[in-house]
Structure 1
């Protein structure tokens, strides 16, 4: 969202009549616009921390504001447009939470869908045996391992895909005593096992199966965060208070 002003409003007119120059009036407008953008950005970050469960620093830090200048009486609040190393932006990640509707596929979902592992129209949620980070998200290392196991990296990443030799290595007992494992996927429910991706651990006396990912119908979200509404309200309120304050300060400094 953009915050722009015309400096021929009532506050500016009063200041001009008292002798403040157009240049100084612009200085006051720029300072107020920047205060407004900063306040709006900070308030949206607070709202995100309250609405979402343990949002990562990347998500919170994705909120950006652009300052106004004397030659551009406009400031703005939005998400970082550059994104992470895979060109995914926070705005894209939160689109469904901000506007409502069906969320977009994640990169690992698309990869597993192309490989024929994830059925069309289905999404992935972590299973109880998934390795998770401190924010409750599935660990990237395990996601990569699964994509590699099912040879889902595609042509550009084919070297990262597992081979029969690497499958055999993971399936063997390791020297530290930990049991080896293999992954397998179910597109349909089988017995008590829901559709998803599982790890099978084989022991001398039998085997154990652990659910790593579940396949669920792609969820549709109601709007959870009025990002732009919050930013707009706080920014406008801040500007309306800050602009006359800065004008008055400049007038007093100059004895006008």
Structure 2
């Protein structure tokens, strides 16, 4: 688990006093209950914060925070960002720059573009103004696959670069009928107003235009804004003493009621 936050308890230090024999008897129970309740509250705080600071976060981002309960055998709770995903990149990876700031890791698409020698190394591919977005503001996965497929076909067979005008016209017509737009091409160096990147050539009437799908850049910087550790510390300071005292008192009251004191 990455970005792990472990909640442990030093009860004597937390409350600044020593415990009676009766209290000490019930310390493990109180610690477990207080840790788990506090961990749940911290996880909920991370979730609410994600909804507030991110623009149209995906369900995976909203529910990225998980926790592992404390037990009598392990007197601590763990809170962490999900480090697995059924498809795509896990939140623990793509949210890390939002937590720590700085740059980010290369995405799978970027590594593939480099291996195809389409994008220079040490660069990033960021969505261009013409890239269609889904309801969460991300470039559709199907769109990315379509772009990569066409670029790969052009590299492997020379089909796109060597096709005749008539054949190209037929291909573009089929793409428009399928809603696929025009053909994709790569600009590796500044070409007039076109920055390095991947573009789609769209035809209309008797003319055509290029719209940016991805722009290649050497600099991607994130400012820390998802301060999960600061949030956790704040919630810990506010909640843990309260829940610990409450659970300890409940355990003592129950034992007295049952005549176990």
**Taking structure 1 as the reference length, what is the TM-score of the superposition?**
0.83
CA distances 1:31-89 after superposition (whole Å, capped 9, x unpaired):
10001111111111222222222221111212111100011101011112333435x32
Q: Residue in 1 aligned with 2:65?
A: 63
Instruction: State the superposition RMSD in angstroms.
Output: 3.1
CA distances 1:161-205 after superposition (whole Å, capped 9, x unpaired):
997699887423468596852110101121122221111133562
Cα distance in structure 1, aligned partners of 2:170 and 2:52 = 45
Q: Residue in 2 aligned with 1:101?
A: 102
Contact 1:181 1:201 in 2 (8 A): yes
Cα distance in structure 2, aligned partners of 1:228 and 1:4 = 15
Cα distance in structure 2, aligned partners of 1:39 and 1:162 = 57
Contact 1:81 1:89 in 2 (8 A): yes
Cα distance in structure 1, aligned partners of 2:186 and 2:171 = 17
Cα distance in structure 2, aligned partners of 1:61 and 1:201 = 39
Q: CA separation of 1:191/1:235 partners in 2, compared to 1, >3 Å: closer, same or farther? A: same
Contact 1:130 1:138 in 2 (8 A): yes
> Aligned pair 1:246/2:247, yes or no?
yes
Structure 2 counterpart SS, 1:150: helix
Q: CA separation of 1:75/1:135 partners in 2, compared to 1, >3 Å: closer, same or farther? A: same
CA distances 1:85-126 after superposition (whole Å, capped 9, x unpaired):
35x321111222211222111111111121111222221222
Cα distance in structure 2, aligned partners of 1:98 and 1:224 = 6
Q: Name which of 31, 52, 55 aligns with 1:53.
A: 55
Contact 2:175 2:182 in 1 (8 A): no
Shift of 1:6: 4.0
Q: Residue in 2 aligned with 1:112?
A: 113
Q: CA separation of 1:125/1:81 partners in 2, compared to 1, >3 Å: closer, same or farther? A: closer
More helix by share: 2
Contact 2:83 2:93 in 1 (8 A): no
Q: CA separation of 1:223/1:162 partners in 2, compared to 1, >3 Å: closer, same or farther? A: farther
Alignment coverage as a number of residue pairs = 246
